Amino acid sequence: MNAREMIDGYEAPIHQGLWQRIQMLGAPRLWSAIWLVLNAYAALMLLTTVSAWWALLPVILWPLGQGALVLLTLWDVQFDDVLLASPKYKSFYEAG
């Protein structure tokens, strides 16, 4: 039997999504998708209401925001969980 051959019902591959954070372009998938959609919506709104030159503003801002998300992810993979949990528990841990 080959060393890589798996026995049915005994061994199964462990998918990376179970132990690693799923990312899109280096940042958490949800935040990357939200940032992309917001910028695309802003670009389309500016394109239809003001002018094509103003529609370039979200196109320029998108890589900056995505870069910030990537840097936050490199700093702490679970940065969004920490930011969401910190206001909820702040008063609990204050002295007094």
Residue 12 lies in a domain: no
Radius of gyration from C-alpha coordinates of the chain: 21
Per-residue confidence (pLDDT) for residue 71, from 0 to 100: 93
Q: Residue 92 corresponds to which tokens in the numbers above?
A: 């609990």
Rounded-to-integer distance, Cα 94 and Cα 73, Å: 28
Number of domains in the chain: 1
Per-residue confidence (pLDDT) for residue 10, from 0 to 100: 72
What residue numbers bound the domain in which 40 lies?
Answer: 27-93
pTM above 0.75, yes or no: no
Residue 65 lies in a domain: yes
In terms of phi and psi (left: phi > 0; alpha: psi -120 to 50; beta: otherwise), the region of 74 is alpha
DSSP string, 48-81: HHT-HHHHHHHHHHHHHHHHHHHHHHHH-TTHHH
State which residues of the chain have pLDDT below 50: none
Residue 4 lies in a domain: no
Residue 68 lies in a domain: yes
Per-residue confidence (pLDDT) for residue 91, from 0 to 100: 60
Per-residue confidence (pLDDT) for residue 6, from 0 to 100: 67
Residue 31 lies in a domain: yes
Residue 16 lies in a domain: no
